[in-house]
Amino acid sequence: MDIQKIGIVGAGQMGNGIAHVCALAGYDVILNDISQDSLDAAMTTVRKNLERQVSREKITQADQDATLGRISTTLRLPDLGATDLVIEAATERETVKQAIFEDLLPHLQPHTILTSNTSSISITRLASRTDRPEKFMGFHFMNPVPIMKLVELIRGIATDEPTFSACRKVVERLGKTAATAEDFPAFIVNRILMPMINEAVYTLYEGVGNVKSIDESMKLGANHPMGPLELADFIGLDTCLAIMNVLHDGLADTKYRPCPLLTKYVEAGWLGRKTERGFYDYRQNPPVPTR
């Protein structure tokens, strides 16, 4: 099928990035959120990121103007009913995602493809709660969306070939690369990345090294562009913990047990950059390790 209009649920860090790249690629985009403040902040972020691309001569001023003109925002979920493809990018909680799909289903066209940007939750299970499991799949962008080139495409057990092909064409039009992943907990990237981050937290928890030495060791010793604790703060410690819990619950292997220190930080509300405190304190410049 020919996808022309894309609906995005959730205007946060991922949602506004997805809106940005889809509109830049020529799709008409409807961005939905339950908060007007979130929608306004999302459009401010999209505009700022487009301006950065113009200043670096990645796109033209005309491209920026056209992209912004293709994005509309709404507080009403039913307004997404007229779209050809819906990408859900809400909080990484299965109950929230299920409630969104339940509210959205009565308003969708028969041909509309439903997808989730989930980073770890079972696509088959999410699809089974809808009226179109064959037209449902995982569409997992990497953060930050305008920069990262990979998209994981995850089929559920019922996903049909036309749905997969249509989503792959969207990825190609966005100028990104699709990696096909099977529907197992955390898929490919987070199945490998999150246990590494969790192990870095255990290394801190057990006193093997402090925050600075752990991050410097991986940056200078393994040539990582960002240390694992710095990366955890960037992703959000609540998201890291949620994915580790999905791995631990879904695979029933003790090697995926979330580090108690990671749980403690999340319980404290120290979630990383978005709350200004995590493994680093971002209220100071430059950020200072908290352990």
Active site residue 119: yes
What residues have CB less than 8 Å from 192, skipping those under 6 apart? none
Active-site option among 94, 190, 198, 230: 190
**Cα distances (Å, whole numbers) of residue 230 to 63, 166, 281:** 34, 36, 11
Tokens of 70: 């293709």
Active-site option among 94, 117, 122, 140: 140
Active site residue 276: no
Within 10 angstroms of residue 253's Cβ, the number of other Cβ atoms is 9
Active site residue 128: no
Active-site option among 119, 120, 122, 198: 119
Whether residue 108 is predicted with pLDDT greater than 80 in this model: the reply is yes
Task: Spell out the domains of the chain, with CATH numbers in brackets.
Answer: 3-180 (3.40.50.720), 190-287 (1.10.1040.10)
pLDDT of residue 1: 75
Interval 182-214: pLDDT, tens: 999 999 999 999 999 999 999 999 999 999 999
Active-site option among 88, 94, 152, 230: 152
Active site residue 285: no
pTM: 0.90
Within 10 angstroms of residue 47's Cβ, the number of other Cβ atoms is 15
pLDDT of residue 92: 86
* Interatomic CA distance for residues 259 and 167, integer angstroms: 36
**In this structure, what DSSP letter does residue 150 have?**
E
Asked if 111 and 1 count as a contact pair (C-beta separation under 8 A), the reply is yes
